Amino acid sequence: MCLPCTGIRMSGRLSRRIVVVTGAGRGLGRAIALGMAREGATVWICARTKPELEETASRIRKEGGVVEVRTVDLVDAGACSDFISNVLIVAGRVDVLVNNAAVLDLLPIDQLDQKLWDQTLAINLTAPFVLSKSVLPSMLTTGGSIINVSSRAGAAGFANEAAYCSSKFGLEGFTRALAVELSECGIS
């Protein structure tokens, strides 16, 4: 494992691995992308905001890592599958998929409209489904890992977070079902 913020590769255990990280423009996604790159992976990062992605990419490159940047609106299922198709064409496979991207809008239920509900479920639940399904042809032949980032909201309800909690409860169920279904296929 890498020492925090040093950029020193401690193991290189992900050398020659292709890793996809969604929501990598900031926060946890950025930290995951940096950590994967520090371990030697070629990291493909995506989010909606190009300037934030470029900042993440700059930090990875500054530390000697290899990164590819794509802006992707994860609300659009077609854009999700096109993104993975592009990774597969260029890199040949995906070894690790990290479904990290998420949105959270704090609103009481009487102010939560259908559009925001749909957007939250699209990014937090449907995109991980589409991206996971898109990497399966690659992973079924080479093995790999799918990591879905959830939160405490996937196990407990919170006021003013109906859409977020619903999406994270769904993501927890999806992750468990996927683990059972794919465990014998070399995909963890």
Q: Where are the alpha helices (DSSP H) in 101-182?
A: 114-121, 127-142, 162-182
Q: What are phi and psi of 170, to 5 degrees?
A: -60, -40
164 annotated active-site = yes
SS3 (DSSP) at 155: coil
- Which residue do the tokens 């949105």 mark? 103
Longest dimension (CA), the chain: 51
Residues 74 and 85: beta-carbon distance below 8 Å = no
**Ramachandran class of 157: left when φ > 0, alpha when ψ lies in -120 to 50, beta otherwise:** beta
Instruction: Choose, from 44, 83, 164, 174, the residue flagged as catalytic.
Output: 164
Nearest one of 38, 3, 22 to 131, comparing CA atoms = 22
Q: Which of the residues are catalytic?
A: 164
